[in-house]
């Protein structure tokens, strides 16, 4: 069934890219390279939620598979995520402004399960896992009467993400849990995924 899913994916990808391909590649092995971009909300949890409010994130990723590894895809992902400070945190502390910016660089794998729906629109469950090495910029600004100097923290952290959702081939919705030490959050993303190279 997984081979059937990926056959659908490659057929759709081929139809979308056949006018772009200048020449027919050799038919020894099916290969696909895909580009995705997405946007979504970020919900801090745990200790992170004590200081930060609802944030947002943007991402781009490149994924690859071939007929020997279907229905697994591997991907590289780059993102930008912003979390403002919470009003309650400002009221309880000397902070006047607090924000966390995260720029994740991730490598991971994606698995496509058997379709839930195979009629007019494919609806395919997806599971992802990835590891990240991410840049953090944390802005710390204090109230004028706090007698404290404003500063920024710049650091790098290792982390990981587990995601699950549904794909309609071009569009997908993913929910994710991301863990970094002292920074955990749940994400909901709407992604658009397009083929950029297909060798059938």
Question: With bands split at pLDDT 50, 70 and 90, how would you rate the model's confidence at 161?
Answer: very high
* Mean local confidence (pLDDT), 146-161: 94
**Rounded to two decimals, what is the model's pTM?**
0.82
pLDDT (0 to 100) of residue 7: 46
Residues 10-40 have pLDDT tens digits of: 444 444 444 334 444 445 677 889 999 999 9
Say if CB 10 and CB 32 are below 8 A apart.
yes
Q: Establish whether the linkage from the previous residue to 17 is cis, with ω within 30° of 0.
A: no
| Closest C-alpha among 149, 173, 200, 169 to residue 63 | 169
Identify the residue with better confidence: 7 or 91: 91
Contact status, residue 17 vs residue 45, Cβ threshold 8 Å: no
Query: Can you tell me the distance from the alpha carbon of 77 to that of 61, in angstroms, rounded to the nearest whole number?
Result: 4
Model confidence at 104: pLDDT above 70: yes
Residue 105 has pLDDT above 50, yes or no: yes
Q: What are the structural domains of the chain?
A: 2-199 (2.40.160.20)
Q: How confident is the model at residue 110 (pLDDT cuts 50, 70, 90)?
A: very high
Average pLDDT over residues 75-103: 95
SS (H, E, C) 154-195: EEEEEEEEEEEEEECCCEEEEEEEEEECCEEEEEEEEEEEEE
pLDDT class of 6 with cuts at 50, 70, 90: very low
Please report the sign of the dihedral spanned by the C-alpha atoms of residue 24, residue 112, residue 124, residue 4.
positive
Of 97, 99, 60, which is closest to residue 80 (Cα–Cα)?
60
As a whole number, mean pLDDT of residues 173-183 equals 96
Percent with pLDDT over 90 in the chain = 66
Enter the tokens of residue 62.
């490149």
Q: Does residue 9 have a pLDDT over 60?
A: no
Give the per-residue pLDDT at 19: 39
Residues in the chain: 200
Q: Give the pLDDT band of residue 70 (cuts 50, 70, 90).
A: confident
């Amino acid at each position: 069934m997984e081979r059937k899913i990926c056959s659908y994916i490659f057929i759709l990808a081929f139809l979308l890219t056949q006018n772009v391909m200048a020449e027919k590649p050799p038919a020894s092995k099916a290969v696909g390279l895909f580009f995705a971009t997405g946007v979504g909300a970020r919900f801090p949890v745990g200790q992170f939620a004590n200081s930060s409010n609802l944030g947002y994130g943007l991402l781009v990723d490149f994924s690859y598979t071939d007929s020997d590894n279907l229905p697994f895809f591997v991907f590289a992902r780059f993102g930008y995520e912003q979390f403002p400070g919470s009003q309650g945190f400002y009221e309880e502390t000397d902070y006047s402004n607090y924000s966390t910016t995260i720029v994740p660089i991730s490598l991971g794998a994606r698995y496509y399960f058997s379709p839930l729906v195979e009629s007019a629109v494919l609806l395919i469950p997806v599971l992802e896992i990835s590891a990240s090495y991410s840049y953090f910029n944390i802005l710390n600004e204090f109230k004028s009467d706090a007698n404290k100097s404003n500063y920024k923290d710049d650091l790098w952290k290792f982390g990981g993400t587990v995601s699950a959702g549904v794909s309609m081939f071009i569009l997908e919705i993913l929910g994710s849990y991301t863990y970094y030490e002292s920074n955990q959050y749940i994400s909901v993303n709407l992604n658009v995924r397009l083929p950029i190279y297909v060798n059938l």
